[in-house]
Amino acid sequence: MLLHGMLTFCRMLSRHRLYAVLNIGGLGLGIAVFLLLSLVVRYEYGYDRFWPDQADIYRLDQLWAHSVGVPGDRTDFSTYRARDALRAEFPQIRASSRLIPQQVTLIAPPSDLRNGGARIMESEQIQFVDPELPDVLALPVIDGQRAEALAAPDRIVLSARLARKYFGTIHAVGRTMRMVVDGSAQTYVVSAVFRDLPLASTYRIDAAAPIPERIRGRRSLNLWAAGTGVTLLRFSDRMGMQAVAARLGDFIARHSNDAPTLQYTRGFALTPLADMHFRDATAGADRDSVLALGIVGVLALLAATINYVNLATARAMLRAREVAMRKTLGASRALLTIQFLGEAVAMVALAALLGLALTELALPPLNMLCGWQVAISYGWLLPRLTLLVVVAGVGAGLYPALVLAAYAPARILAAARMPSMGRMGTRIRAILVGAQFVFAIGFAICALVIDLQVAHLRDADRGFRRDGLIIVSSMADDALRPRQQALLDSFAKLPGVRSVTQSDRAPGNDLLSMQSVWRPGAANRQQELVQQHVGRDYFRTYATPLLAGRLFDDAHGTDIAPEDRDDPRASNIVINRSAAAALGFASPDAAIGRPVTAQIGTGTAPRTIIGVVADARFGSGTRPVEPQFYYYQPGIIGGSNAAIRFAGPTERAMLAALARGWRQLVPDIQFDAASADDRLARFYQPDQRRGQLFTAGAVVAIAISCLGLYGLSAFNATRRLGEIGIRKTLGAGTADVLRLLLVQFIRPVAVSALVAWPVAWLAMRTWLAGFDQRIALSPLYFLAVTLGAVALAAATVLGQTIRVARAEPARALRHD
């Protein structure tokens, strides 16, 4: 019986090639999308799962205050001082470490190099950490000993990538290298080399070394009101974590005498390592978007299954006489049901093989597009794929099998025509087609809105001119403080450069320095504003519009802010529009000449507003523009970025010229620069990638729907030849018949749009609500997608419809 069933299945595929291609191709596409997006969801949810005992590791987040009555931000960077206070107070903390990221220059001495003496000098990001880091994050060491890797201040651990880069081998323990940080060079000994961490890691550590004493002496590290790095805590068990979390609420009160500036902090919170990817306070992934991708995969599979049911039900009518003959010869209803279910499972198995092959082909470009390391783990995938084949095969084939097995032999053999399941069958097929297009149109609308929103974020006005603007971030190295002006002067002399400036904040930087400011007599209504120190020609270089008052100049002595940021002397400030509103001024003009008070350390200092400029958005489009004020500092600005406005040369040529000028003056520090657009791209690229995946899902869903529609049109073309012949004999023209048939297929597509619209509108309205800068949800988007879907559906069935409509009545009646 099994052999007979296999022969029947192979004969059916051979005789009905179009049916086989449509069914296997549609199912294969649906399964491929489902597998791909399942792997993506698994990858996103697998972030940081590779760390041993990751359930016991938590990050200390700091909750910041902005203004009275206004909720603050939750940031992953916390104060440097919290870690020691927590360790002293809570014995439940088994191990802890701070991670302070720092851009440094690493130099491998010629004696230790792989290339016979040529020096390697590169700018790298290192994590300065506490010696306990290996007890918190068990780095996968492949050379050396993990336990004592950071016990001495001159030790450094490297990833395998950096070890190969600087020494040509992963066996680099004992080798030495120089590190230049804050203008000071120190020799380090490689104490361990660890395996490269997966990309699915929140903290992609390439190099780590103990926190140097010169960094521990920084003023910001002694302030409770400064987030200087990440603090990771490892607890003995979950009960210990809960005990600490319960007492974090009054942690501030217990340390208020020790930290007057702790007033800027609302509190602390713990984030599990496994949740950091989704709950990261500054740059985490969007859990809802990842879940939406998983839903797209499920719906694509469901659409492909519906397509199979639709085609299989239609084809069942053509097998009616076969079923009748087999029943006459003794086949039972149960046996026929089992056979047809077996054929359905076999069809899904072939489609699964096709889907798996398509998944293998699609993964490399997907990883390249999105910067992932998604891989197929067959040990995880094959059992689930097998279950999918059985469930989808039985689910998709059950209804057609029951329909086929229920045919009465006498009625079928006595009939002159094949059964059509009547009006009910036509309605069922229309409903199934409509369900497919509901998914397809909904996906397409979402994809279109996401693409338009990303384009809006990319092109929206940010309050400054982005074109022709290059940011030199390597200027922030403290070793350059004595050479800052010389570098700026050399940049200004380059051909094509229009203006040059520096500031301690630049586009693409979400790290903020806050200061409390209030109007006289309103100390209880203080506002937490972003402060920024800017150099000469700052507003000219960024082309930030002046709304009221004037800008800084050297002729007014009080425009220049004291170099000591705790100096209580009076100075002038420029504020942005949002700061004017936050301070209660009715208009930008109303703020000019008005005094305010700024909190500096434990004291205050008077400030006078001399100008109001437009809001400049340097960060993500998801957040409102921060109320901000500017200090003028024409001399040295610590931790600054240079900004160069140019015209004429190409961006590449300008970057090359800047790099040459840099190397002439600063050969010992790596040059690092990028255009303002490139620096801002990180804020919209994740949404852009998700939009591309949604677009791909929409294309596949529409393709599957059109495949099913094409199959049904081919079936109806054969079934309705006789009807068309009669209509044409009674006087119907080709155009009348064509209109009749097209309406039959287009109607469920149009109706499905009415179902898809409210669902897509609600989903996109919720998603867009997360953006401060966002597009309006225009009905034109919905209408455009619907018209496109209707046009595709019409084009899909047009060939079959025209063939039937143009058939000669005599031939059509003879066929019937």
Q: First CA to last CA across the chain, in angstroms? A: 35
Residue 650: per-residue pLDDT: 92
At residue 515, φ and ψ (nearest 5 deg) are -145, 140
Confidence bin at 114 (pLDDT 50/70/90): very low
CA distance 661 to 666: 9
pLDDT-above-90 percentage for the chain? 26
At residue 807, φ and ψ (nearest 5 deg) are -65, 140
CA distance 177 to 120: 10
Closest among 137, 135, 133 to 155, alpha carbons compared: 133
Q: In the predicted model, is pLDDT for residue 549 greater than 70?
A: yes
Q: In the predicted model, is pLDDT for residue 408 greater than 70?
A: no
With vertex at residue 749, the alpha carbon angle to CA 30 and CA 779, rounded to the nearest 5 degrees, is: 100
Confidence bin at 812 (pLDDT 50/70/90): low
Q: Of 52-61, 113-122, 337-346, 800-809, which has the strongest mean pLDDT?
A: 52-61
Helix, strand, coil % over all residues of the chain, rounded to 5: 55, 20, 30
Closest among 226, 26, 57 to 137, alpha carbons compared: 57
Residue 405: per-residue pLDDT: 67
Higher pLDDT, 701 or 29: 29
Q: Are 68 and 274 in contact (CB under 8 A)?
A: no
Which residues neighbour 282 within 8 Å (Cβ) at sequence distance 6 or greater?
75, 76, 77, 510
CA distance 99 to 97: 7
CA distance 408 to 418: 13
Residue 415: per-residue pLDDT: 53
Q: What is the pLDDT of residues 158-210, one digit of tens each?
A: 999 999 988 889 999 999 998 887 667 889 999 999 999 988 888 889 999 99
Residue 590: per-residue pLDDT: 94
Mean pLDDT of 450-462: 85
Question: Largest alpha-carbon pair distance within the chain?
Answer: 108
The 8-class DSSP code of residue 612 comes to: E
At residue 150, φ and ψ (nearest 5 deg) are -120, 25
The CA distances from residue 492 to 411, 434, 502, in Å, are: 93, 64, 12
The 3-state DSSP class for residue 544 equals: coil
Confidence bin at 17 (pLDDT 50/70/90): low
Mean pLDDT of 684-709: 77
Residue given tokens 């051909």 in the structure block: 495
- At how many degrees (to 10) do helices 287-318 and 685-719 cross? 10
Residue 281: per-residue pLDDT: 44
CA distance 369 to 48: 22
Amino acid identity of 424? Answer: M
Which residues neighbour 366 within 8 Å (Cβ) at sequence distance 6 or greater?
36, 40, 372, 374
Q: In the predicted model, is pLDDT for residue 509 greater than 90?
A: no
Q: In the predicted model, is pLDDT for residue 815 greater than 60?
A: no
Higher pLDDT, 802 or 695: 695
Please give the torsion angle defined by the CA atoms of residues 130, 131, 135 and 138, in that order, rounded to the nearest 10 degrees. 90
pTM of the predicted model over 0.85: no
Q: Are 317 and 406 in contact (CB under 8 A)?
A: no
Confidence bin at 629 (pLDDT 50/70/90): very high
- At how many degrees (to 10) do helices 422-459 and 685-719 cross? 160
- Name the token pair of 304: 């492909």
Least confident of 28-42, 386-400, 572-586: 386-400
- The two beta strands, 207-210 and 120-129, are parallel
Residue 398: per-residue pLDDT: 77
Residue 307: per-residue pLDDT: 78
Confidence bin at 469 (pLDDT 50/70/90): very high
CA distance 390 to 381: 14
Q: Are 748 and 712 in contact (CB under 8 A)?
A: no
- Name the token pair of 619: 């960060």
Residue 297: per-residue pLDDT: 85
Taking the mean position of all CA atoms in its chain, how far away is CA 392? 31
Average per-residue pLDDT for the chain? 81
Residue 344: per-residue pLDDT: 80
At residue 440, φ and ψ (nearest 5 deg) are -65, -45
Q: Are 363 and 374 in contact (CB under 8 A)?
A: yes
CA distance 282 to 510: 8
Least confident of 74-88, 292-306, 683-697, 719-733: 719-733
Q: In the predicted model, is pLDDT for residue 811 greater than 60?
A: no
Residue 19: per-residue pLDDT: 66
Mean pLDDT of 627-635: 92
Residue 67: per-residue pLDDT: 44
The 3-state DSSP class for residue 15 equals: helix
Q: In the predicted model, is pLDDT for residue 282 greater than 50?
A: no
Please give the torsion angle defined by the CA atoms of residues 649, 655, 660 and 664, in that order, rounded to the nearest 10 degrees. 120
Residue 5: per-residue pLDDT: 53
Residue 567: per-residue pLDDT: 81
Q: Are 684 and 507 in contact (CB under 8 A)?
A: no
Amino acid identity of 551? Answer: L
Total Cβ atoms within 10 A of residue 405? 22
Mean pLDDT of 69-83: 73
CA distance 328 to 321: 10
Which residues neighbour 71 within 8 Å (Cβ) at sequence distance 6 or greater?
none
At residue 406, φ and ψ (nearest 5 deg) are -90, -5
Residue 152: per-residue pLDDT: 92
Mean pLDDT of 689-695: 77
CA distance 597 to 718: 85
Mean pLDDT of 731-741: 66
CA distance 725 to 333: 37
Closest among 199, 203, 270 to 44, alpha carbons compared: 199
